[in-house]
Structure 1
């Protein structure tokens, strides 16, 4: 498994669903040796167009390969295993 990477949370200011997503994300960070990095989609035209109606989403760097909300801890864990081993 790749280790020491970032799990990107695509978010924006005032996203209440993003706060709910964080509750599912936090317990998995240590297991996969990941740091959570929040990216505000409002700061990037491409990300804003891509995610404006589907945040929160999490990814490992490729904005085309993301786990979309709603997800629970098990779904996110499965998504991470498929990508990180």
Structure 2
């Protein structure tokens, strides 16, 4: 199982853009809908989409370059 998690919610167009970036890189990641988890909702409600790897977080906006930098820094 992957340790990349994308916090999102349904109907979030920015979340869809983030998913598209991850899919372009053919990355394996887990989608976590913040509405299904009270703790995630409280933490990320106005910040989504947020990509995490372990304790590291990459908040929106991000592009391919910052995504690559994040992944390399958090191997």
Structure 1, gaps ≥5 residues long: none
Local SS of the residue matching 2:29 = strand
Structure with max Cα Rg? 1
Q: Which TM-score applies when normalising by structure 1?
A: 0.78
Matched, 1:71 2:65: no
| Cα distance, 1:60 vs structure 2 | 1.8
The alpha-carbon deviation at position 36 of structure 1 amounts to 1.9
CA RMSD of aligned residues (A): 1.6
Structure 1 stretches of at least 4 aligned residues deviating more than 2 Å after TM superposition: none
Gaps of 5+ in 2: none
- Count of residues in correspondence between the two structures: 75
The within-5 A match list for 1:28-43 is: 28-29=25-26, 34-43=27-36
What is the CA–CA distance in structure 2 between the aligned matches of 1:79 and 1:46, rounded to whole Å? 24
